[in-house]
Structure 1
Amino acid sequence: MEPVAVYRLADVTVDHEPSHPDEVVAGEPTTGAVTVTTLDGLGVEIGVWEMSTGAVRDVEAEEAFLVLSGRATIETGASSVTVQRGDVVRLAEGTKTVWTVTEPLRKLYITGGPS
């Protein structure tokens, strides 16, 4: 492995697929993800995830992410939070969420690691 690796996120293309019908809450959202790199031996994955406008439900993995563009509200049942460009967010594994994306969302995610 090279001692320094640069990943130009602006050049990362993410192909989308329609969200699974069981997950769709509103609209016709699409999602896609691309792994950018992994941290060898740590089980950590870093990548780019996108979602078009609409709403979907999910059960989260342990994850931290940086919103690169767009805007969404994440509901957990007990509360909701709006996220937008520049926000860093941490999701706890097993959290049931509903994502309502009002501006197409693009995020850099980090997930995995020792259990």
Structure 2
Amino acid sequence: MSGAKKLASASKATLEQVSLSPDQIESGSPETRILELPDFAGVSMGVWEHTEGVSTDTEVDEVFIVISGAATIEFTDDDTPPLEVAAGDIVR
């Protein structure tokens, strides 16, 4: 792999706060932060943080690694059961 380089330390990166719209917040007072990384081969990448609380978001396709904490992900279709994720999980 030529030109390989470390882009960021996910556990130490400084993330920019991104406000959730009121209609996205279902309970609690969740906050989100992000560090957008350069696209690679047409794929968007970044580090994203979500504090305790419940919010809604729609993603078409993504892969993510849970660095810390845990969450329950619920899907809008009726066929997909909720997914429990925790630190160390790689999810697609």
Following superposition of structure 1 onto structure 2, how do residues 71-82 of structure 1 map, counting pairs within 5 Å? 71-77=70-76, 78=78, 79-82=81-84
Matched, 1:89 2:88: no
CA distance in 2, matches of 1:11, 1:71: 19
CA distance in 1, matches of 2:35, 2:18: 12
- Structure 2, unmatched stretches of 5+, are none
Tell me how far 1:59 sits from its aligned partner: 1.4
TM-score by length of 1: 0.67
Higher strand share: 1
Matched, 1:8 2:8: yes
Assess, with a 3 A threshold, how the Cα gap between structure 1 residues 65 and 27 changes in structure 2: closer, same or farther: same
Tell me how far 1:48 sits from its aligned partner: 0.2
Conserved 8 A contact 1:33-1:47: yes
Query: For the aligned residues, what is the CA RMSD?
Result: 1.7
Conserved 8 A contact 2:18-2:34: no
CA distance in 1, matches of 2:29, 2:39: 31
TM-score by length of 2: 0.82
- Structure 1, unmatched stretches of 5+, are 91-115
Tell me how far 1:73 sits from its aligned partner: 0.4
Tell me how far 1:18 sits from its aligned partner: 3.6
Q: Paired residue for 2:34?
A: 33
Q: Paired residue for 1:94?
A: none
